[in-house]
Structure 1
């Protein structure tokens, strides 16, 4: 496993202003979202908006440095505009070149970041260069799905076949991890509207943590870490989360879900009475 590693996830809302501009709508704010949903259903048969209309309200990440030290972080609309969130996230790549890990990042998170960065007039060559600036990135960059600099676990675990894509929640549960714990992205608008920032960041960080745990299992499968290395990484993750109060629920649920598979029962060794 090549360190440092950055596992990340984003949360979004519909950009009503851009949607109104795109479709030429002149409606009160409270009617815009319903109108955009109706138009999207007519276009595609689904509610999920096209990527450029996703406004980022949170980016969370787990940074694992060369020494294995972990840092869980979030940039959200509680303290930052969308442009500031993007600037903070993109600046990471100006200083370091981590292995980027995501779930569906190549089809959603990275394209959304690309569109929104362009919308705000930002520059991010370290993330989007494909060899035009650094010739080495022709052979290993963050965009090419067959390169190793960005590991989209949903994609690689499906063997790059869309028919085999799985939901993060399902994959996590099957492997003995907490998953989304009964919460989904449908709650994001409510969290933002009610300024429930801790719920927003905890949810996004939970997706990051599930992705990290699945990445460890993927690395074990690929032979990039040994079984003992995997055990040590799991214990290091548990130890780190014990010092993160906002992830107490994640840790408690993990303790329960770990009992669902024989392999993960060892994650939380039982103590004698």
Structure 2
């Protein structure tokens, strides 16, 4: 496994101000949101808004440094503006060059970060340079689909075939991990409106943790981890989560769901678990 590693996820809302500007709308907020949704349905038949109109309200990550130490973090609208969230996240790539791991990051998270960083006039060569500055990134950069500086697990596990794409929640459950827990609905708008910041960051970090556990299984499949080392990383993750009170529920649900498959049934059978 190539360290350091950064597993990440973003949460977004529709940027009503930009949407009003783009479509020349002069409406109060509730009517504006409804109008943007209606316009999008007319364009595509779906509610999912175009990527530049996704305003970032949270970026969460799990960093594993060169010594294998784990650290969960979140930058959210509780403390930072969108521009500040992006600035803090993008600064990671100026200091380090981690292997980036995501679920659907190449089609959603990274393009949204690109559009929103441009909107705020930010510079992020550490993430977006393709060899113009650092020639080593000419053929292996974070945008290259077929190299592993950025591993979009949804993409690589589908063999780069969109017909094979799977949902993160489904794959997590299939492999014996917690998934989204609860009713599985998308509650981000409600969290932000009610200023339930703990729920927002826990939700985003939960997706990060599921992605990390799937990534470990993918490395095992590819032979980049043997069974012994895979087990050590699973135990290290369990021990780390015991120090994170906000993820007690994630750990408890993992304990239960691990019993659903033969392979994960041993996750919590170790004396250190």
Normalization by structure 2: what TM-score?
Answer: 0.98
Counterpart of 1:224 in structure 2 is: 224
Kindly indicate whether residue 238 of structure 2 is the aligned counterpart of residue 241 of structure 1: no
How many Å separate the matches in 1 of 2:185 and 2:100?
22
- 1:117-158 CA-partner distances (Å, limit 9, x unpaired): 000000000100000011110111000110110000000000
Q: Count residues in correspondence.
A: 271
Q: Which runs of 5+ in 1 are unaligned?
A: none
Question: What's the counterpart of residue 99 of structure 2?
Answer: 99
SS at match of 2:186: helix
What pairs with 1:107-186 in structure 2 (closer than 5 Å)? 107-184=107-184, 186=186
- Aligned-residue offset at 1:185: 6.1
**Per-residue displacement from partner, 1:202-255 (whole Å, max 9, x unpaired)?**
000000000000000000001111110000000000000000000000000000
RMSD (Å) for aligned C-alpha atoms: 0.9
Secondary structure of the residue aligned to 1:186 is coil
Q: For residues 243 and 29 of structure 2, what CA distance do their matches in structure 1 show?
A: 42
Would the alpha carbon gap of residues 111 and 170 (structure 1) be closer, same or farther in structure 2, given more than 3 Å must change?
same
Structure 1 match to 2:214 = 214
Q: Cα deviations across residues 163-198 of structure 1 (Å, max 9, x unaligned)?
A: 000000000000000001135462100000000000
Q: Aligned residue for 1:85? A: 85
* TM-aligned CA deviation for residue 67 of structure 1: 1.1
Give ranges in structure 2 of 5+ residues lacking alignment: none
Q: CA deviation at 1:29?
A: 1.2
Deviates more, 1:253-262 or 1:29-38: 29-38
2:63 is matched with 63
CA distance in structure 1 between the aligned counterparts of 2:59 and 2:257, rounded to whole angstroms: 26
